[in-house]
Structure 1
Amino acid sequence: MSNAAFTLVMVPPLSTETRAWPDRLGKTVPGITVLSPEDPDAVRAALARADAAYGTLAPELLGAARQLRWLQAPQAGPPPGFYHANLVRHPAQVTNMRDTYTDHVAAHTLALVLALARQLPRYVREQAAGQWAPDWSDGAVLPLAEASALVVGTGAVGAEAGRLLAAFGTHVEGVDPRVTEAPPGFTRVLPPDHLDRALGRADLVILTVPHTPSTEGLMDADRLAAMKPGSYLVNVGRGPTVRLDDLVAALDSGHLRGTALDVLEREPLPADHPLWRHPGALITPHVAGAGPHAAERRYEVLAENARRFAEGRPLINVVDKTQWF
């Protein structure tokens, strides 16, 4: 198959890891010309001749990209505002970086679940205070072999987290708008209209969903109230899916026993926010995806799509722009 010549613009700002990508792409993708302009006028001039771009295109930059056919998002779930109305209407395909951190995020998810199940947040606080206070009561831990988990979002991360959790003997169900066949370890995957009923059966609710128009505020006061009394909420997806004020209220009332959050509605979480000191909360600062090889995996997605674009083949990780994922 012959390769068509095309121009790809690396939209600034570029990180330290991405500065080497233009040269690498030029050497490995036949027919590609990679531009990495710095100043605003040069960026607009480059976009005017671009067939493809990597980065974020605000409306004014997208307006300069008159022949753009493909935009590679730099993240799996870009920040709010990336999928603005002009981009949604634009004919260019958008691809994202999903499935580049699956193993790291799934492992982090299990670490959070195990910490909640064994009361580690409490014991860490007592260690810091120099207190010896063992709890041997029957309700001190959540026995995972007797527990039920609901994974909301059974894409790559959710499927892997559920598989790992099932290895502990946990009964795992999923909810997803696209996935219908149960991944390994899951008993079944339900459509989104079953969410409210499924919440009441789960000892653990694990959110891996992206931030989309339909998931923003997904876990509000009503949905938190629909959860099983004494259950736990874990969020490793995106912060805007959980209303923090409603979550604090559910913890304060005792309806929820605990929560573990790697992503939050407000990031960074203000130092005076009650969740920092809440005895039922465990917080990590949006680091579930941390781990080796992340930059190389992201480059490989870009390079694979560049090769496919040059050859006229379907791209991977194509996004439904109206749903942001």
Structure 2
Amino acid sequence: MKAALALACLLGTASAQSVLLPESMKDEVAGLTKEHPTLKFDFYGSSRDAKEKIAAAEGYIGSPDEGLLEAGTKLRWIHISGAGIERFAALQKIKDGSVTLTNFKIQQGPEIADHAFALLLSLTRNLAAFQRAQDQGAWGRNDARLPMIELRGRTLMVIGYGGIGTQVAERAKAFGMKVIAIDPKDLPISQTLDRSGKPDELDELLPDADVVVSCVPHTPQTEKMLGATQFAAMKKGAYLINVSRGKIVDTDALVKALQEKKLAGAGLDVTDPEPLPQDHPLWKMPNVVITPHVAWASDQRPDRQDELVLTNLSRFARGLALKNRVDPAKGY
């Protein structure tokens, strides 16, 4: 009885953690207040609604702007709905670290890695040409203009060995490929990684790659890191797959490398500019497959993301370090 009374007193004097969430999350978080009585939830239905309610919030699930941050004088934590933070890194309270930022990095690895290989296989197995033949009701075997390539024994380079890059490496190994990773971190050799290098070793290692997959976030350091110099360093007949950000690639240099047949093909879920103008040459190239920035989509993605948000709400209530914290200075 004394212990129960002491706990009640403790909970009664504990300060509440107020979090502002989208109205769509009402059902998902309903049980958390029983587990964590200090959590207090409010919900918004629009960005205007959020700005009107943000003054009382210490946590916010959504996309902030300077106006919301200025009004949110009590804010300590913001969780954004995507993985890229380009739109938010320069916001003052995020930039100076007074508000902790978390995102869905790592969570999107499985579906984006699947998509990277869908793009690659569309090129190496000539699926785009066969799809065009199917649209015409033609058998199409004699119309194939691209070679049919086997991946086994070839080398795949992953640029950015994080939540997406490690998943790409796993799939590459399943296809019997060798894997090279480019990443600022020191990476241990493992069953899914044969070699690794730092970003300043990219040009040196590119000639060994049959496939190059960009998985890096867009930062000032990574913008146009794949340009004319890098395409010149790549072996003739290599493939480029970009499932990260369009600005990682110098688009004009990519077009030239494809036109000069230095590259065998490119699979692009992201482009620069995005979307491409209707008259852009990449649309018409038979050795290019373009998807409209949809690699993140997955039937299982919502469950993983809900789990992360609920975990972080619980950790926020208990004063624990949050998962998936972003370093604004690094850009990821």
The AA in structure 2 aligned to 1:223 is Q
Number of residue pairs matched by the alignment: 319
Q: Deviations over 1:73-104 (max 9, x none)?
A: 111224x3222241212411111112222222
What is the CA–CA distance in structure 1 between the aligned matches of 2:35 and 2:143, rounded to whole Å? 59
Q: What TM-score comes out, normalization by structure 2 length?
A: 0.86
C-alpha distance after superposition, 1:208-260 (max 9, x if no partner)? 11222221222122222222221110011122212222211111111111000
Alignment of 1:25-104 (within 5 A): 25-26=32-33, 29-38=36-45, 43-78=50-85, 80-86=86-92, 87-104=94-111
1 or 2 for the larger relative contact order (CA 8 Å, sep ≥6)? 1
Name the residue aligned to 1:184: 191
- Corresponding residue SS for 1:36: strand
Q: Is the 8 A contact 1:97 1:298 kept in 2?
A: yes
CA distance in 2, matches of 1:39, 1:318: 25
Q: Contact 1:8–1:53 at 8 Å: present in 2 too?
A: yes
Name 1:206's counterpart in structure 2.
213
- Matching residue of 1:132: 140
SS state at 2:88 partner: coil
For residue 286 of structure 1, give the secondary structure of its aligned residue in structure 2: coil
CA contact (8 A) 2:130 2:144 kept: no
Superimposed CA distance per residue, residues 126-181 of structure 1 (whole angstroms, 9 cap, x where no aligned partner): 444536344899x9233212311101111122111111111222111111112512
1:45 deviation in Å? 4.7
One-letter amino acid of the structure 2 residue matched with residue 132 of structure 1 = G
After superposition, where does 1:255-266 map in structure 2 within 5 Å? 255-266=262-273
User: Where does residue 315 of structure 1 map in the other structure?
Assistant: 322
TM-score w.r.t. structure 1 length?
Answer: 0.88
Distance in 1, Cα, partners of 2:293 & 2:46: 31
Of structures 1 and 2, the larger Rg is shown by 2
Instruction: Indicate yes or no: 2:245 matched with 1:238.
Output: yes
Out of 131, 139, 153, the position equivalent to 1:146 is 153
* Alignment gaps of 5+ in structure 1: none
1:28 Cα deviation from its structure 2 partner? 5.3
Once the two structures are superposed, residues 92-123 of structure 1 have per-residue CA deviations (whole angstroms, 9 ceiling, x without a partner) of: 11111122222222222222222222222233
1:5 to 16, 30, 43: 16
Q: Percent identity?
A: 34
* Distance change >3 Å, CA 249–CA 55, structure 1 → 2: same
Q: Which runs of 5+ in 2 are unaligned?
A: 1-6
CA–CA separation in structure 2 for the residues paired with 1:261 and 1:27: 46
Report if aligned partners of 1:17, 1:295 keep a CA contact under 8 Å in 2: no
1:249 aligns with 2:249: no
Question: In 2, Cα distance between the equivalents of 1:188 and 1:240?
Answer: 26
